[in-house]
Amino acid sequence: MSTSLPRTILTYQTNAKLYTLSTLIQAITPFSRLPSASQQAFKTISTTDEDSVLVTKETIFHPQGGGQPSDVGTITSQKGDAKFTVSAVRQDATNDGVVLHLGRFADANKPFTIGEEVTQAIDVEKRIYYSRLHTAGHVLGAAVRHLLEKEIEGFDELKASHFPDSAACEFQGLIPGTRKEAIQAKVTEYVERAMPVEIDFWTAEDFKKEGLERLIPAGGEVPEGGKWRVVNIVGAEVYPCGGTHVETTDLCGHVGVRKISRQKGTSRVAYNVS
C-alpha cells in the first residue's frame, strides 16, 4: 500500500445520516500484503487469503474506535458489477488519517480499479443501533457526573465501551451500589427530555470559554485544522467525540442501568438500550 495516501475524508463526522456515498477508490491491497502494523489493527478479525483492504477518498464507514464498533456494509462499482462486502473498518496504523475497509470481492475476477467511482452503503440498522448505544453512554456519563461529582471523592469520567455486549462507563471513585436507582432515574429523565444532540468543532479556546478546560483531549495533540469534534448534549454535557449519534436523547430508546461494579478505586456502570 502506498505510504503517500492522503487522509480519508470522514464524511460521517458531519452527516451521520448519510447512508450511501459516491467516492473514488484510492488503493486496493490484499490483506496479506499489508504492513504488519496495519494488519494488527484487525487482530481480532479472522481473515483469509480472499480478504483485501480498500482505501477510498471519502468514507461514511465509521472505523472502530472511541468505544464504538465499526460500520459494515458494501462498496459497489458504478460502471460494472463488481461488489465488495465490508466486514470491518479501522484507522491505518502506518498512514496517518487513512481509513482501511476490510472485506472481500463477490467475484475475485471482478475487482475495482484505482480511481474508479464506487458507491458505499452501510448497514443502516447497525449504524442506528451503534449510534443509540454511543449517545446513551454519554447520557449515562452526564447523569452520573451531575448526581455524584461532588459526592464521590476524586470523581472523574475515565473511559467507556459502547459495544452491544459490553456497554459501560468507567469512573474514578467508588460509586455505591445503592445509587443505581438514582442514576437510572436521572438517565431516564435525560432521555425523556429529548435533549438535542449537536455536533460542533472546537478549538482549545472554545473549551476554555465554556469553562471546560478539563475536556481538552490529553496529550496536547491538536487535530488537523486546529479543532476537535465535540458532541453537545444540550442541557447536560459536552464530550470530545468522533463517533456517531442520534439527533435527540429520546431516540436512544430505553436506557437501562444494569450494574455498578467497583475495583481498585474505580467504578464501572454497565448499561443497555432497548
Q: How many CA atoms, within 13 angstroms, populate the side-chain half-sphere of residue 62?
A: 29
User: What is the pLDDT at residue 217?
Assistant: 83
For the stretch 105-120, pLDDT in tens is 999 999 999 999 999 9
Domain spanning 9-122 has what CATH number? 2.40.30.130
Q: According to the model, what pLDDT value does residue 226 have?
A: 82
How many degrees, rounded to 5, is the angle at CA 47 between CA 45 and CA 48? 170
Q: In the chain, where does the domain assigned CATH 2.40.30.130 lie?
A: 9-122
CB proximity list for 202: less than 8 A, separation 6 or greater: 227, 228, 230, 240
Residue 91 C-alpha cell reads as 484507522
**Distance between CA atoms of 257 and 43, rounded to whole angstroms?**
31
> 202 by DSSP, 3-state: which?
strand
The domain made up of 127-273 has a fold known as Threonyl-tRNA Synthetase; Chain A, domain 2 (3.30.980)
Residue in the block written with cell 451521520:
16
> Would you state the pLDDT for residue 190?
98
Q: Mapping DSSP to helix (H, G, I), strand (E, B) and coil, where does residue 147 land?
A: helix
CA separation for the pair 227, 246 (Å, rounded) = 22
User: CATH 3.30.980.10 in the chain, residues?
Assistant: 127-273
How many Å apart are CA 76 and CA 23, to the nearest integer? Answer: 10
Q: What is the pLDDT of residues 42-68, one digit of tens each?
A: 999 999 999 999 999 999 999 999 999
What is the dihedral angle through the alpha carbons of 200, 204, 205, 206, rounded to the nearest 10 degrees? 20
pLDDT of 211-223, one tens digit each?
A: 999 888 876 566 7
Predicted local distance difference test score (pLDDT) of residue 219: 64
> Based on C-alpha coordinates, what's the Rg of the chain?
20
Mean pLDDT of 59-83: 95
Cell of 182: 438514582
Opening angle at CA 50, ends 53 and 82, nearest 5: 70
